[in-house]
Amino acid sequence: MGKTAAAGRAAAPAPADPRFANGPLAVLAGDGTAHLVDGRTLRCPDTALPELVRWALEETTALGAPRLHPHGRDADPLLVVTEAAADRLGLPSVLADRRGLRLPEDHKAVKQLARAKWQLTRRGFGPWARVYRAADGRRRLCVQLAVLPWGALDERAWPAAGTLPAPDLARALGAYAARVLTPCGSTAVTGLELMTALRPPTRPVRDRATGAWTSGPVAGSLTAPVDPAPCEAPDEHPVAAGRSAAEVLDEEAYEWTREPGLLSDAECLEPFAVGLDVNAAFLAAASRLTVGLGAPLHVHRPVFDRKTPGAWYADLSGIDLDPRLPNPFTPHGRRPEGPAWYATPTLAYAVELGADVRPLQAWIRPEAGPYLDPWYDRLRAAYLATMADLGVTPDLAPGAFLAAMRTHKQSDPVAAAVLAAIKATVKGGIGKLRERPQGAGYRPGQRWPALERPTWRPDIRAAVIAAARTGMHRKMRRLAETAGLFPLAVLSDCVVYPSSGPSPLDLLPHTPDGRPLPGTFRLGVSPGMVKHEGTGPMLWAVDLLENGHNPARHIKDGTV
């Protein structure tokens, strides 16, 4: 057995739940064959959608996945429709409606479903379509279709997945489903749905007075939609109407370059510029992060409490920091010009630096908890397991780790596709917490559908990004204080340093016994540790700085 097949089969074991003995999904090859995640195949109807949907829900077909939380719901069967299968089902190879991304209501396939009493959700029949009927007793009757020729698997999140043979694609999606969640849309949508699957908003509760069952909240979950504070809202939100630019909570990732005049002669004489990239930086920042669970409360002249999530209006412009490091309080890395809004992690870091922080006002969330912890745990485990499939494990010495990282994506295209999807799930899930209006029908000032879900929470997104940015600054500051090393540029989770050699091993300092210097960047596979992003000549990096470009943006391939 080849390495690819072995890794794929190990990644998607047969499910323990007998209701879903054939796994969470099937890839339809277009010849009446449905490929399962463990390499087996089933025969399936392949010329009419109603029969295909009915087949997917039959107990003997046994497709689906068990819930991740006792109060969650089982995953619906997923049918992945390849180009050949789409042709057999009478679906076009390209959607004519490129804006709405759906089949017209009068299309033959849509009319077939309607005649058979199947319904589509409001988003219609698009790349990710849900086909359902009213529940049969306690059993949910719903099937999801992912139509590959319509772009269901985005190349940016699932590189080369569209070119994988149906058996390999089934193994890739099966590994992702087993480790993350059965795909239910883009990786961003799935990342957000994973939060809800791990912390569902409600649970059944028996009314003591009547004995009837009703719905109650799940402790630690986001249970209802809440409006953000005005400073937290994107510009399109109704509560942001009339505010100025200075009233916006600007917690974003770094994009900073050092002023060329602050480079020393010794730095300019170094032969190399080496880029370090933080593994899954936003995921690492979500670990043990306390976030608000309910609506914000406005207070005047509050006493800052680092355990209370929220947005705080304070003046950090007087804090004097080394200009050779980016300022930790702004995404552009320059000193703030006056009072501004900050998320709790940013203000907590100011206190850590010795500042006397006295907020003028705040929007705080007294009801709080580590909402993202289960999400972090599951995605961290998925990331490490997939890296292990690619030969990169936590026990590797730094040199062996760097060597493994140079070729890991080439060893197994199935696992490489899963790894890319897991990374995209992290970033996309955090981004979806502040989903902006989409579609041509939106009008400024109107509410949009995403606002009506409990997981539309721009404050949580801001807290994660603030924690990632300040955590990165903490390590850069430690490296500057202990080894005299200062960065040339930072872009999100990538930082570039002058170096005497082309490898991170030439750059990162160690203690006398050979261990990484505590509190600084450490090479390794775990989220929060770093890998080698790329190396370029120091003269090239300086030239970029002098011409207003960011070396961290280009260090991976050395081109501009």
Write the secondary structure of 503-541 as one string of H (helix), E (strand) and C (coil): CHHHHCCECCCCCECCCCCCECCCCCCEEEEEEEEHHHH
Q: How many CA atoms lie within 13 A of 18 on its CB side?
A: 0
Cβ–Cβ < 8 Å for 359, 302: yes
Q: How far apart are CA 27 and CA 85, in angstroms?
A: 9
Report pLDDT digits (tens) over 337-365: 999 999 999 999 999 999 999 999 999 99
Check whether 14 has a pLDDT greater than 60. no
Check whether 8 has a pLDDT greater than 90. no
Residues 16 and 143 in one domain: yes
Question: How are beta strands 255-257 and 202-206 bridged, if at all?
Answer: unpaired
Least confident among 93-102, 315-324, 530-539: 93-102
Query: How far, rounded to the nearest angstrom, does the alpha carbon of residue 44 sit from its chain's CA centroid?
Result: 34
Strand partners, 483: none
Which of 288 and 212 is assigned the larger pLDDT? Answer: 288
Range of the domain at 329: 243-251+291-369
Structure tokens belonging to residue 204: 């059944």
pLDDT band for position 2 (50/70/90)?
A: very low
pLDDT band for position 558 (50/70/90)?
A: confident
Cβ–Cβ < 8 Å for 24, 78: yes
* CA distances (Å), origin 451, targets 133, 227, 290: 26, 8, 22
Check whether 398 has a pLDDT greater than 70. yes
Residue 435 domain flag: no
Averaged pLDDT score across all residues of the chain:
94
Structure tokens belonging to residue 226: 């809440």
CA angle 49, 54, 57 (to 5 degrees): 130
Q: In what order do the strands lie in the sheet with 119-120?
A: 41-43, 33-35, 25-28, 78-81, 139-147, 128-136, 119-120
- Looking at the chain, the number of H-run helices and the number of E-run strands are 16, 20
Residue 127 domain flag: yes
Residues 53 and 153 in one domain: yes
Mean pLDDT computed over 462-486 = 98
The pLDDT score that the predictor gives to residue 135 is 79
Residues 52 and 149 in one domain: yes
The pLDDT score that the predictor gives to residue 15 is 54
Structure tokens belonging to residue 449: 């559908």
Mean pLDDT computed over 499-517 = 92
Check whether 36 has a pLDDT greater than 60. yes
The pLDDT score that the predictor gives to residue 545 is 97
Q: How many CA atoms lie within 13 A of 52 on its CB side?
A: 28
Mean pLDDT computed over 18-22 = 94
Residues 129 and 247 in one domain: no
Q: Which amino acid is residue 339, in one-letter code?
A: P
Least confident among 186-190, 209-213, 323-327, 417-421: 209-213
Residue 106 domain flag: yes
Residue 185 domain flag: no
The count of structural domains within the chain is 2
What is the H or E stretch that residue 476 is in? Answer: helix 458-483
The pLDDT score that the predictor gives to residue 1 is 34
The pLDDT score that the predictor gives to residue 290 is 98
pLDDT band for position 162 (50/70/90)?
A: confident
Q: Is the backbone of residue 17 left (phi > 0), alpha (psi -120 to 50) or beta?
A: beta
Structure tokens belonging to residue 54: 């009915």
pTM for the full model?
Answer: 0.94
- Residue 553 dihedral angles phi and psi, to the nearest 5°: -75, -25
**Single residue among 119, 150, 173 that ends a domain in this structure:** 173
The pLDDT score that the predictor gives to residue 327 is 98
Q: How far apart are CA 332 and CA 251, in angstroms?
A: 10
Mean pLDDT computed over 310-319 = 97
Q: How far apart are CA 336 and CA 420, in angstroms?
A: 36
Mean pLDDT computed over 522-536 = 97
Residue 49 domain flag: yes
Q: How far apart are CA 173 and CA 182, in angstroms?
A: 8
Report pLDDT digits (tens) over 71-95: 999 999 999 999 999 999 999 999 9
Mean pLDDT computed over 448-477 = 97
Report pLDDT digits (tens) over 434-448: 999 987 678 878 899
Check whether 552 has a pLDDT greater than 50. yes
Strand partners, 33: 43
Cβ–Cβ < 8 Å for 508, 520: yes
Check whether 420 has a pLDDT greater than 60. yes
pLDDT band for position 7 (50/70/90)?
A: very low
Helix, strand or coil, per DSSP, at residue 342: strand
Long-range contact set of residues 330-333: C-beta below 8 Å, sequence gap at least 24: 330/250, 331/250, 331/251, 331/252, 331/253, 331/254, 331/255, 331/256, 331/469, 332/255, 332/256, 333/254, 333/255, 333/256, 333/490
**Single residue among 369, 391, 411 that ends a domain in this structure:** 369
Report pLDDT digits (tens) over 239-268: 999 899 889 999 999 999 999 999 999 999
The pLDDT score that the predictor gives to residue 208 is 80
What percentage of the chain exceeds 90 in pLDDT? 86
Residues 113 and 247 in one domain: no
Name 447's Cβ contacts closer than 8 Å, sequence gap at least 6.
238
- Residue 14 dihedral angles phi and psi, to the nearest 5°: -60, 135
The pLDDT score that the predictor gives to residue 69 is 96
Helix, strand or coil, per DSSP, at residue 87: helix
Long-range contact set of residues 109-114: C-beta below 8 Å, sequence gap at least 24: 109/49, 112/48, 112/49, 112/50, 113/49, 113/50, 113/53
Q: Is the dihedral of CA 164, 165, 166, 171 positive or negative?
A: negative
pLDDT band for position 560 (50/70/90)?
A: low
Query: How far, rounded to the nearest angstrom, does the alpha carbon of residue 415 sit from its chain's CA centroid?
Result: 18
Structure tokens belonging to residue 405: 């990282």
Residue 150 domain flag: yes
CA angle 41, 134, 23 (to 5 degrees): 20
Among residues 35, 486, 525, which one has the least CA distance to residue 262?
Answer: 486
Structure tokens belonging to residue 395: 């026990």
Residues 28 and 146 in one domain: yes
Least confident among 17-31, 144-158, 505-519, 530-544: 505-519
The pLDDT score that the predictor gives to residue 557 is 83
pLDDT band for position 366 (50/70/90)?
A: very high
Residue 403 domain flag: no
Helix, strand or coil, per DSSP, at residue 196: helix
Residue 142 domain flag: yes
Check whether 395 has a pLDDT greater than 50. yes
Residues 109 and 247 in one domain: no
**Single residue among 369, 400, 429 that ends a domain in this structure:** 369
Q: How far apart are CA 508 and CA 522, in angstroms?
A: 8
Check whether 479 has a pLDDT greater than 50. yes
Residues 153 and 297 in one domain: no
- Residue 431 dihedral angles phi and psi, to the nearest 5°: -65, -35
Structure tokens belonging to residue 36: 């399962």
Q: Is the backbone of residue 477 left (phi > 0), alpha (psi -120 to 50) or beta?
A: alpha
Q: Which residues of 323-354 are buried (b: 16+ CB within 10 A; e: fewer)?
A: ebbbbbbbbebeebeeebbbbbbbbbbbeebe
Residues 7 and 143 in one domain: yes
Residues 9 and 153 in one domain: yes
